[in-house]
Structure 1
Amino acid sequence: MSQLHKFLFDGLPVRGMLVQLTDVWQEVLKRRAANVETGPYAQPVRHLLGEMTAAAVLMQSNIKFNGALVMQIFGDGPLKLAVVEVNPNLSLRA
């Protein structure tokens, strides 16, 4: 079960948010693995994309913006582009 949990510390200027992407992340991985042309993500890609997905969900849930948040990373190594899109209802694709 994927979860987003906001928290505050009473009397302190501290607030935070925890995100746990289980169902949605497993679905992303399952769909990629089912692609017969590409196969599953390599472990380093899976790790990077997982971190990007969690960060994008945290950012989208914290900003007052009624539109999709798109996070992109460009590189010149083996991975040229990684993209995560999170909508205001926290549905996502990566």
Structure 2
Amino acid sequence: VHRQRRITLPSGILLADAIPLGEHEKQTRSLLRIAVYNISYIRSLFPEKYFSDKSALAVEMKLKNLMHMDADPKRLIHWMKKVSLSYPTQMGRKLQ
């Protein structure tokens, strides 16, 4: 049986209640993309010029964004979009 972890925000609101249905999937896709791009940067999979700095105001951190500068980064970006959009949502349909 899968249990969902209940996280309460400082305001006392449950995190699951604070995020509209459908936003969970979008946020999960964004976090996955951020993780892959930053691992690609740290592991030097592409030259540094292929990345741009991006700020995430909600978490106050600087992230690396992979840019479409060559065939290899384009291939990774396309693959990430394809994989993340292929997961079904809670409603049983694929994300658009």
TM-score, with structure 2 as normaliser: 0.31
Higher helix share: 2
Higher strand share: 1
TM value normalised by structure 1: 0.32
Instruction: Give the structure, 1 or 2, with the largest relative contact order (CA under 8 Å, sep 6 or more).
Output: 1
**Structure number, greater radius of gyration:** 2
